[in-house]
Amino acid sequence: MSDKLDIDLSAEMLINYELGKSDENFTLGTASDNTLLASTLVTQARQSLVLLTRELDPKIYDTQAFIEAVKSLALRGRRSEIRILAHYPVKAMRRGHRLLHLQKRLSSFISVKKIHKDYSEYNEAFLVADQQGYIHRQDASRFDGIANFYAPIRCRELLKTFDDIWDKSEPDPELWQLKI
């Protein structure tokens, strides 16, 4: 594994990075940094996406680029799997979050669960694409974070956390009662 170094994020630079191959850390500090990296990682994903978030961060996950990337991933093949954990999915749906509208249309590929009350104090946010690349924010209320296109060991750690929470969590019945 190569030594990690922090690299300033720019849209032009991302053209040279490939999910599953490029092993450098990106330091994120703004919503636009997160949006650009999330959309790029999901666009390059071929099979899976997991997302753990408090309120589905609309500045990141309710953007046209991100929604299109998720839709493409979901429709890429029958093995596509997108799993989302959120503390407040109903709140996001009431605000008209496009990702949840997409989930209702593509429920065979996109699953959403409300985070179990045992994890109510968990305040990290992360995204893992194809078990290879990730974005991680230690504090979900801030946009500061780290991302990497190829960090399978770190991704396994994040996926373990995700799966532990996923297994205890359930779909929010209120989410299905809301009209699109």
Query: 102 pLDDT exceeds 70?
Result: yes
Q: What is the per-residue pLDDT for 177?
A: 57
Nearest to 126 by CA among 138, 115, 118, 114: 138
pLDDT grade for 13, boundaries at 50, 70 and 90 = confident
Give the model confidence (pLDDT) of 103-120 as tens digits. Answer: 989 999 999 999 999 999
Arithmetic mean of pLDDT, 53-74? 95
What's the Rg (C-alpha) of the chain? Answer: 15
Q: What is the per-residue pLDDT for 11?
A: 62
> Which spans in the chain are helix H?
11-14, 31-44, 58-61, 64-75, 89-94, 98-105, 152-168, 173-177
Distance CA 53, CA 135 (A): 11
Strand 81-86 to 110-114 pairing? parallel
Arithmetic mean of pLDDT, 119-134? 97
DSSP 28-41: E-SHHHHHHHHHHH
Give the model confidence (pLDDT) of 16-44 as tens digits. Answer: 899 999 999 999 999 999 999 999 999 99
pTM of the predicted structure, to 2 decimals: 0.90
Strand 145-148 to 25-28 pairing? antiparallel
